A and B are shown apart, each in its own frame.
Chain A
Amino acid sequence: MEAFPSSDSPVSQGRLCVKGWNCYEYVRSPLRLVRPLMREKSRGYRERADSLDDFREVSWRKALKFIASKFKDIREKEGSIALGLLSSAKCTNEENYLMMKLARAVLQTNNIDHCARLCHSSTVVGLARAFGSGAMTNSIEEIEKAEVILVTGSNTTEQHPEIGGRIIRRVLQGAKLILVDPRRIHLAKFATLHLQAQPGTDVAWINGLIHVILKEGLADSDFIDKHTENFSSMRKIVKKYTPQFVEEITGIPAKKLIEAARIYGSARQAMIFYAMGVTQHVTGTDNVLSLANLSMVTGHVGRPSTGVNPLRGQNNVQGACDMGALPDSLTGYQKIEDGDSRKKFEQCWDVKLPTVAGLTETEMFVAGNPIQALYIMGENPLLSEPNIGRVEKFMESLEFLVVQDIFFTETARWADVILPGSSFAEKDGTFTSTERRVQRVRKVVEPVGESQADWKIICQLAKELGYPMEYSHPAQIMEEISSLTPIYGGVSYPRLDKIEGLQWPCPEDSHPGTPYLHKGGFKRGKGLFTPVEYKPPQEITDEEYPFLLTTGRIYQHWHTGTMSRLTFTLQREVPQAFVEMNPRDGLFLGVRNKQLVKVISRRGEIIAKAFLTEKVKEKTIFIPFHFSEAAANRLTLDSLDPEAKIPEYKVCAVKIELWGENN
């Protein structure tokens, strides 16, 4: 098996990142799960399994029958509200659709969600409110014509190298790059301006930019008049965000903020790119709304090479959202609480649907909630949820857990039944990329051992539960999806046979797809300005916990590392967790480079190597969350954005101690 880039793809154009080049390795790893497994009779209470020895192999028939009977029992005793499902941003659109259908039509619960809750739920809420659509407004290739690029809260070269590379190519041609990021990331080397904002102060500097833009007459008043509403109340709020006031909150020098406002405000075509640094805050939705305000004030939206562009992380996190693996939405963001939408699905599925929005992922892991049984497909919350100690406590109290995955993950260790799913190379389907591009994935090898394509597993389980789902190929599932989903209305397998795929909205067969949104007017009618006040992060540093911890990802590893950490080349590059710390803090604490330190928060502690680097400012540390043996999420805070329910991964308070005998 080999991995090569596609030279004809308009997106990759023959390029791949290091993870792409090396993706063959995990697919054929001998550590893949190859047979259904059941936990040996437990000791009366749930606990984490030490190894696979705590499980025994069973037949598919037995595993599925057992799961179906447990789900039925729990539903009878506690009601459908006691069941929860997590779908997967790594699985195909078709699989996410079926998981959603299994939840709603078969198990009669809206408790379905997936990891988008943890990464871009605030985008979906914020951009949908401001513009009417919660996805990347523009397309990747439009970077080629951008005059100004504003990147914030995105380590683009490491997390979206395809886009990061394009940004660098464009900057080398003369475009201006404004980077707003607390860390001196790789892109800083190419930035016209790097504003090193204090983590958690996004609303303040964005309001500051708008303040300067308005003051200096750089606003696009035509655009504001014609295409937006509620401008004046937003204007009132930003009045007090003078550059000096913003400097006090964010640490961005007033002069630099003014310069950034002038560059962004006077460009004809400016694109905003952002990711988790914006979304993963208790003010995540506010942050997104503020970026929407900024783009509307200058009219940088609704045209090519402009827009507000959230960079989605996983291969199909956009698609998993599109497919309605969300507690409040059916496919294509049709609301479950909207009677007409529900009726359409009820007719197609021939079943009544539960009417009230379900629990979000972050609410599912809270002790005392009604969840008794969880079915988790291709997700690893025991490493990705904030405050893991809390999730472990919840697991101890859970009655029944099914995990469907390709490896024995941290989460699978808690399972009663483990079902072996399949990797991207072993099945047909579609993925929807960050730029709303629906693309085919094709089976190149058979699933290993007795493992099966995830869509087939869901179909069999549905049948065991008394609701036949019969599809001979994912193409059939897509036919059903497009018949129910206006934005996917023209998406079909024959059309997807072209390498470039189709960008939604694509409402009908003759529609060519949509490279950029809100052309000539917003999806919701008028763009909505929202006045947003700066609110400080939930947990600020104090004498006892004097360091601000911000978490994130690194280039060589992927999320909870279940695949990348089994990949030789990636693991060799970055074998273990680390703590980025400013050298002056190192000096103050007496920490040498590469010395082990203990990082302690109010919720937990981990031990990892200190990397002394100017990448981070004093009193701020950075830890990547990929490493189970030193899980950054033991430290993080489980406070949520009130609307999007996204956790504040990016800011919490910690203290640091030396660790080991030789200290």
Chain B
Amino acid sequence: MKLLLVLVLSVLSGCYALSNPQGAAQSVKMIDLKTQTYKATCNGAVEDWPNCYDRAKQTCPNGYNLKERNQSPVGGKRELVFQCNK
């Protein structure tokens, strides 16, 4: 149990020292200007689908229409393709 405590504290202090949340945020990319279609990614061990949905909400103040939800286990890849409401 002591080992676990030491491990957790070490990890947390290390993570704090290495923290750079702004630089770690993943992207939203416009893939069609005419139809206002975007692709949000939320890959990896830390991010998950809620991050993709949050990005869709932030990108489209008037709401959005979900076009595709792609997930691949090859690298923890998650992609949300959405179209902003006008």
Partners in one complex: no
